[in-house]
Amino acid sequence: MSASAGICAYFHTPVMAFSFRKLSKRFFVSSNVLAALVFLLACLQPWLNPETFWLISFFSLLLPYLAIVLLLFMVFWLMAKWRYMAISAVALLLGSRQLSTLVALREEKFELRKAAVPGSLRLLTWNVRAMKGLGSQDKASLRKNVDGIYQLIDRFQPDVLCLQEFGQFDKPDEGFDHLARLADLGYRHYVFSKDYSRVAWRYSSGVAIFSRWPLFHKQRVQFTSSPESILLADLQLGADTVRIFTSHLQSFKFSNDEFAGLEAANNSEELAKASSGIFGKMKRAFRNRGAQSNQIAPLLDSCGHPFVIAGDLNDVPGSYAYWKVRGADRQDVFLKTGSGIGRTFMSLAPTLRIDYVFASSQWQVLQSRTISTRLSDHLPVVTDLQLKP
């Protein structure tokens, strides 16, 4: 190698190394800032109605994953340039209200048999998926699944049942007579929304409230955005009247064919075509849930009794629907007494908590549990509540 070539190599090697370090630093800083901005955008969801700002609802689904990315950046900067940890730290601090809904840090303990405490109520809420379960749909499997659902209910002995995607045949000899079966378990008092009817099958489905005690002031309020509704009913608990609400907000209604289309796509054009239907359904669901939660909130705000609202919101903690229904002072029973992430939906992602029980401030949350079972695509949530003196 000539002397001139050696001199060039001597001067260019440090320059190239310096340029690479500078570019790498800019890349990581820019990526960290972008992740922080997307995270903060997702955290704005409670204040942005998805009827208008539906696009941000997509980010709310990514909230736990974005938080993990920011934490990983903090670890990276701790080993590289610690002062850049501030990018993630500030974003996580600003989003702390949203992060507080993702994980419960209490030790979950649930006493199966409760003591008879005056003013106490055990409530179980469950999307029962028309009692069909997750496995084979032959007649023997269906019957086994139905039996399993009733055995679970009988095991936990709730005073009140809130069921979503509940169905009943008008003529018992045409299918399972769930009303009679529940009456045998002691739930003779009920209100059933019958949001959907299949005339040919003489079959109705919707949400329902079942109780061991008499229900009065029963009411169904239909949503303006879909055939579904919110149900409410009052019951006497000692000397007090308490109100129970239940509802099922708009789901994505994905089909197996749509997922099969995504898997079968061989190029970007086919992938775009297959995903357009899924994207459209998600947009419609986000907007409908915004409208539905806006209908629910005034009913809760104007309620003059201690109340509980339980059901399938089909939306994650931190979403507009979650905060609109939970409100400023209602208690999320899972966050009060639960543990972990509280997953309630068995498909799509491992972090989906979309079934909730919210209790008004007059209640003390004694205990709660998300019950692990394969009897539906949703997990039931059971809680014990007691009226405060």
Identify the residue with better confidence: 272 or 179. 179
CATH number at 382 reads: 3.60.10.10
268/213 same-domain check: yes
DSSP annotation of 118 reads: T
The residue among 99, 115, 148 that closes a domain is 99
pLDDT in tens, 191-237: 999 999 876 667 889 999 999 999 999 999 999 999 999 999 999 99
Q: How many folded domains does the chain comprise? A: 2
DSSP annotation of 114 reads: P
pLDDT in tens, 123-156: 999 999 988 877 666 778 888 889 999 999 999 9
143/217 same-domain check: yes
**pLDDT reported for residue 172:** 57
The residue among 34, 64, 99 that closes a domain is 99
54/130 same-domain check: no
183/230 same-domain check: yes
Determine the structural domain holding residue 219 and report its residue range. 105-387
**pLDDT reported for residue 169:** 78
Identify the residue with better confidence: 139 or 81. 81
77/7 same-domain check: yes
371/255 same-domain check: yes
pLDDT in tens, 156-177: 999 999 999 998 877 655 567 8
CB contact at 8 A, 233 and 244: yes
Closest CA to 375 of 122, 127, 182: 127
* The residue to which tokens 């039996």 are assigned: 147
The residue among 99, 131, 165 that closes a domain is 99
Closest CA to 112 of 371, 320, 285, 311: 371
23/148 same-domain check: no
334/247 same-domain check: yes
**What average pLDDT does the chain have?**
88
pLDDT in tens, 231-259: 999 999 999 999 999 999 999 887 666 66
256/383 same-domain check: yes
48/125 same-domain check: no
pLDDT in tens, 265-277: 666 676 677 677 7
**pLDDT reported for residue 280:** 87
94/110 same-domain check: no
255/362 same-domain check: yes
**pLDDT reported for residue 271:** 65
Q: Would you state the structure tokens that stand for residue 377, as one six-digit string? A: 């695509």
Q: How confident is the model at residue 348 (pLDDT cuts 50, 70, 90)?
A: confident
DSSP annotation of 105 reads: E
